[in-house]
């Protein structure tokens, strides 16, 4: 007994000495112990643990995502379609006997060195890009090497085909796809998709999707996030050869909604072709009946003159556009809009800057002014961490459901799942932000239990929701197309008032 007493006395003296020399020690020790011990599950009568932010947001989406009062019945989609060959980018370049080096952007790829430099340039930024490869024979050799590379996979490709495929997963919807559809692609398409006979061709167009993982390194270049680099030598899609066929088929099909994509493919064909073809595209788009909304899906471009022409001539005659952060920044740079002096986004795009650019597009090239003759009233913006749906008041409904549905499919599809698994995703979006980058601006907060934040600027409404980012994405190709398709499925166009 006396030994225990002596031990307790010595221990007390030691602790007293330590407390005298470091009064904060006891609280630090308790903090350390509480963090080190495993978290105990609550007992039967205790309160359950609060949900994580990711769980709260996923549950919030379930509440917000409701079907629109008026659904689409028939959707026509065109005009770019192909077969995607998805392969490890670094692995393929190594198989082509290329050595790592410095990155450099190229508007058009002429050889394997151009490909290597452009891939490294975008891999280092973790940004998506798409380029035309000018040499047909060299491209075919690269395509052969890609198809034979271990683990290479073939998928439905092209924005129109991907959007059509996603829409066709809704059994109530009739989908028409118009584009260069070869035998391989035709076999891969959903059975519900209708393809006009004029769209069928004897050979497929192939696009190579060079993917890289978050943290993947090649030489001195390291990817900050997972993404992909796309290349093709695709003349059918490059000339939008199916555009007139597409528009001609609309009258018989009687679409409720038209989804158009593929304009970016013309950029690689050279200025003489795209100048002439863009004029013809504007005429063709103008032939679509006024009461049928048109959604334009944008994609990666590098020619500022070409993007500016699209901004001036095409965007005002469509009702809706879908785009990501790279395309949004390039749009404002090409048109001299807000924050055009920004060379690139620094990490997650600032919400205030994005809001400024979206408002500028709708005010200067859309119908934010009721007196404007432009048709654009809706922009679906998506970036890795969050989405924003910006709409001119009075033209669209069910926006909270639409933006939530787009974010939900981004979370699930990136992980290769049918539903969101909150153990496999992480919240990266800012929960506090401003409505604009300049004054006057509103300070806003995301409530995870109702994860759509709404604000207005003039007569434009903004709906923002965070994205639950997949920690280990399995496939990033087509994610933007799935987001836009899902957002459109839950959107409702408000019919104009009868005169």
Contacts for 148 with CB less than 8 Å, ≥ 6 apart: none
Please state, in angstroms and as integers, the Cα–Cα distance from residue 12 to each residue in 32, 33, 277, 287, 467, following that order.
20, 19, 88, 90, 53
Distance between CA atoms of 422 and 402, rounded to whole angstroms?
A: 21
* CA pseudo-torsion sign 295, 378, 130, 226: negative
Q: What strands lie across the sheet with 453-457, from one edge to the other? A: 193-194, 174-178, 74-78, 257-261, 294-297, 320-324, 378-382, 386-392, 460-466, 453-457
Residue in the block written with tokens 């022409």:
309
Cα 349 from chain centre:
13
Neighbour tally for 316: CB within 10 Å: 18
The burial of 158, by beta-carbon neighbours within 10 Å (0-12 exposed, 13-18 middle, 19 or more buried), is given as: buried
Contacts for 315 with CB less than 8 Å, ≥ 6 apart: 296, 321, 361, 365, 366, 376
Could you tell me if 146 and 85 are in contact, meaning their C-beta atoms sit under 8 angstroms apart? yes
Q: Which residues pair with 454 in a beta bridge?
A: 463
Contacts for 494 with CB less than 8 Å, ≥ 6 apart: 394, 395, 396, 397
Could you tell me if 205 and 232 are in contact, meaning their C-beta atoms sit under 8 angstroms apart? yes
Contacts for 152 with CB less than 8 Å, ≥ 6 apart: 85, 86, 87, 146
Residue 65: asked if its preceding bond is cis (omega within 30°), the reply is: no
Neighbour tally for 331: CB within 10 Å: 26
| 393 tagged catalytic | no
Which member of 84, 256, 375, 481 is catalytic?
A: 481
Positions marked catalytic: 481
């Amino acid at each position: 007994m006396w030994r225990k007493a002596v031990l307790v006395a010595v221990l007390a003296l030691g602790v007293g000495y330590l407390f005298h020399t470091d009064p904060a020690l006891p609280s630090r020790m308790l903090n350390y112990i509480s963090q080190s011990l495993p978290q105990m599950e609550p007992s039967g009568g205790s309160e359950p643990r609060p949900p994580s932010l990711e769980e709260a947001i996923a549950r919030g989406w379930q509440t917000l995502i409701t079907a629109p009062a008026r659904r689409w019945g028939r959707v026509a989609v065109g005009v770019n379609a192909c077969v995607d060959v998805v392969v490890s980018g670094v692995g393929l370049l190594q198989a082509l006997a290329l050595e790592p080096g410095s990155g450099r952007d190229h508007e058009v790829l002429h050889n394997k060195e151009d490909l290597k430099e452009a891939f490294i340039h975008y891999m280092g930024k973790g940004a998506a890009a798409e380029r035309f490869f000018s040499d047909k024979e060299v491209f075919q050799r690269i395509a052969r090497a890609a198809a034979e590379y271990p683990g290479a996979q073939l998928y439905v490709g092209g924005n129109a085909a991907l959007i059509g495929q996603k829409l066709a997963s809704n059994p109530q919807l009739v989908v028409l796809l118009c584009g260069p559809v070869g035998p391989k692609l035709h076999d891969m398409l959903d059975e519900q998709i209708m393809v006009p006979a004029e769209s069928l061709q004897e050979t497929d167009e192939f696009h190579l999707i060079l993917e890289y993982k978050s943290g993947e390194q090649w030489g001195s270049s390291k990817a900050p996030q997972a993404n992909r680099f796309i290349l093709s030598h695709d003349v059918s899609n490059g000339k939008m050869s199916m555009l007139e066929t597409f528009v001609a088929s609309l009258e018989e099909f009687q679409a409720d909604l038209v989804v158009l994509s593929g304009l970016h493919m013309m950029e690689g064909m050279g200025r003489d072709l795209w100048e002439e073809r863009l004029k013809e595209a504007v005429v063709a788009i103008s032939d679509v009946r006024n009461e049928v909304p048109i959604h334009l899906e944008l994609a990666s471009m590098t020619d500022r003159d070409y993007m500016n022409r699209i901004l001036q001539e095409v965007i005002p005659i469509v009702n809706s556009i879908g785009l990501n952060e790279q395309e949004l920044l390039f749009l404002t740079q090409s048109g001299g809009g807000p924050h055009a002096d920004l060379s690139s986004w620094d990490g997650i795009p600032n919400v205030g800057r994005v809001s400024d650019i979206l408002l500028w597009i709708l005010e200067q090239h859309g119908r934010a002014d009721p007196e404007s003759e432009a048709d654009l009233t809706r922009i679906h913006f998506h970036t890795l961490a969050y989405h924003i749906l910006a709409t001119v008041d009075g033209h669209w409904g069910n926006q909270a459901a639409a933006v939530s549905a787009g974010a939900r499919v981004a979370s699930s599809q990136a992980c290769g799942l049918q539903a969101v698994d909150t153990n496999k995703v992480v919240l990266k979006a800012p929960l506090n932000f401003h409505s604009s980058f300049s004054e006057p601006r509103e300070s806003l907060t995301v409530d995870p239990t109702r994860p759509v934040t709404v604000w207005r600027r003039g007569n434009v409404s903004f709906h923002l929701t965070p994205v639950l980012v997949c920690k280990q994405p399995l496939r990033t190709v087509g994610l933007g197309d799935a987001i836009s398709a899902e957002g459109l499925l839950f959107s409702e166009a408000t019919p104009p008032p009868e005169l």
